[in-house]
Structure 1
Amino acid sequence: MLRASNDVESDLFCVTRTFEMLRDIGSAPNIESARDAALTAAVGADVVMVVMHDELVRLGERSVELGVEMLADVGLPVLLLTGLGDEQTEDFARAALWLRRNVRGVLASDATASEIAAGVRAVRAGLVVIEPRIAQELHQTSRRRPASRITDNGLVRAPDQSPPLSAREREVLGLLAEGLATKNIAHQLGISAHTVKAHVESIFAKFGATTRAEAVAIGVRRGAVLL
């Protein structure tokens, strides 16, 4: 297990002391360093555990992009420990973004040693681990999500939302929800990166959003994004 944090020494000591089959092989102060360490064959990690600090959580969209892009090519399952802030809708949407990529577990930062150990073993075994509060909210959000409406000109209108998203904007928003970067969205849709940025700016304007994570959160809430 490789930790992308130095601030959970006591918890990890309890974990490795209580569960001898788990071995803490080291830590890294940030995601970039964890990526470099995990790519080093000598490290021999099976799981990367990332602890999201409050400052990193507040970065919102950028924290998602950094985490996904930095760890995407490591080839190791990621267990994420994160706080649940006041803006819970965005937190849950962000969790959905992480779970669409190589993140295989999302636990609360106040998880016990037993919960962390169980999470590490589960993701190492190929299972997906979700903090109960996150799982419950995702389920409730899915159940209460109102249906979108197709307007006469073929545009998709999210409930109680004006103006509507175009079909292309809906495609872009869906790919944003999958955590794709601008260049990857452009490649998948066969359009230029400049055009993708224009669509993203249009989505921001229509949703009143300022970050990609916020736009996805609004899209989830209004039924414009399917989890």
Structure 2
Amino acid sequence: MVIRTLVADDQAVVRTGFVNLLGTQDDIQVVAEAEDGAQAVRLAAEHRPDLVLLDIRMPHKNGIDAAREIIAASEGATKALMLTTFGLDEYVYEALAAGASGFLLKDATFPELLHAVRVVAAGDALLSPEITRRVVAEFTRQRAAAPPVPAGDVDGLTAREAEVLVLIAQGLSNAEIAHRLTITDHTVKTHINRLFTKMGLRDRAQAVILAYELGLVRPSAPR
């Protein structure tokens, strides 16, 4: 299957670099490129790409707003992969809430770029434990002054599934969860698949957000 991709970045050198690199792959086709968020939304509606690679900071419409509109218009058929830097931590949570499936650093290597595009296009989330912890830190910053949110209804989950959800929200990888609970990686994946299905979660990013919004994890909780 060929992954039809749209690349949006207001820096021509960066945008052209990504377009040229992606163009070397038989399974990836760049169908359009945009220099701002508004243009990205228009081109996404025209070309209906499988994936949009969006810079967070762009003129006229930022990448987060563009991602939100593109994902909504495509009813989730188009996935969003955000271009970011470690200096933009404050935008990570907002981008995930908008529906983005992952993040890629602008100085990513060629293999990292290809891996990110393929993972997100396949419907998975590119959300490393490091990024998860950044999401948690940003959530803490945003909600520090807010009163505690009462825990939501997770009656549909088993005790172990709820436990796994909390550990995901605390930034643990599958291997770390397996070690913490003394179970196999395969069992962890089974629990994750089941809780995602029961709670209607698309990916790990949504799991982090859900756990905090339901009050299963408090912003002050240790990792």
Q: TM-score, normalised by structure 1?
A: 0.51
Q: Specify whether residues 66 and 11 from structure 1 end up closer, same or farther in structure 2 by C-alpha distance, changes over 3 A only.
A: closer
Match of 1:127 among 116, 124, 128: 124
Does the residue aligned with 1:8 lie in a helix, a strand or coil? helix
* 1:27 maps to 2:33: yes
* 1:52 maps to 2:52: no
Aligned to 1:67: 66
Q: Specify whether residues 67 and 114 from structure 1 end up closer, same or farther in structure 2 by C-alpha distance, changes over 3 A only.
A: same
* 1:223 maps to 2:222: no
Q: Specify whether residues 35 and 63 from structure 1 end up closer, same or farther in structure 2 by C-alpha distance, changes over 3 A only.
A: closer
* 1:94 maps to 2:95: no
User: How do 1:89-168 residues align onto structure 2 when only pairs under 5 Å count?
Assistant: 91-130=88-127, 133-138=130-135, 141=137, 158=144, 165=146
Larger Rg: 1
State the alpha-carbon separation in 2 of the partners of residues 104 and 118 from structure 1: 13
Does the residue aligned with 2:103 lie in a helix, a strand or coil? strand
State the alpha-carbon separation in 2 of the partners of residues 24 and 131 from structure 1: 26
Flag structure 2 segments of 5+ consecutive residues without an equivalent.
151-217
Does the residue aligned with 1:110 lie in a helix, a strand or coil? coil
State the alpha-carbon separation in 1 of the partners of residues 129 and 16 from structure 2: 24
Judge conservation of contact 2:37–2:63 (CA < 8 Å) in 1. no
Flag structure 1 segments of 5+ consecutive residues without an equivalent.
86-90, 149-157, 172-221
Q: Specify whether residues 47 and 115 from structure 1 end up closer, same or farther in structure 2 by C-alpha distance, changes over 3 A only.
A: same
Q: TM-score, normalised by structure 2?
A: 0.51
Aligned to 1:196: none
Does the residue aligned with 2:30 lie in a helix, a strand or coil? coil
State the alpha-carbon separation in 2 of the partners of residues 65 and 10 from structure 1: 22
Per-residue CA distance 1:75-134 (angstroms, 9 max, x = gap): 21111111221xxxxx33421221123211111111112111111111111100125642
Percent identity of the aligned residues? 19
Match of 2:82 among 59, 76, 80: 80
Per-residue CA distance 1:204-225 (angstroms, 9 max, x = gap): xxxxxxxxxxxxxxxxxx938x
Q: Specify whether residues 111 and 97 from structure 1 end up closer, same or farther in structure 2 by C-alpha distance, changes over 3 A only.
A: same
Does the residue aligned with 2:101 lie in a helix, a strand or coil? strand
* Distance apart, 1:69 and its partner CA: 4.3
* Distance apart, 1:44 and its partner CA: 4.2
Judge conservation of contact 2:67–2:80 (CA < 8 Å) in 1. no
1:120 counterpart letter in structure 2? V
Q: Specify whether residues 94 and 52 from structure 1 end up closer, same or farther in structure 2 by C-alpha distance, changes over 3 A only.
A: closer
RMSD across aligned positions (CA)? 3.5
State the alpha-carbon separation in 1 of the partners of residues 115 and 68 from structure 2: 26
Q: Specify whether residues 63 and 35 from structure 1 end up closer, same or farther in structure 2 by C-alpha distance, changes over 3 A only.
A: closer
Per-residue CA distance 1:56-76 (angstroms, 9 max, x = gap): 6xx9xx847633543343321
* Distance apart, 1:31 and its partner CA: 1.1
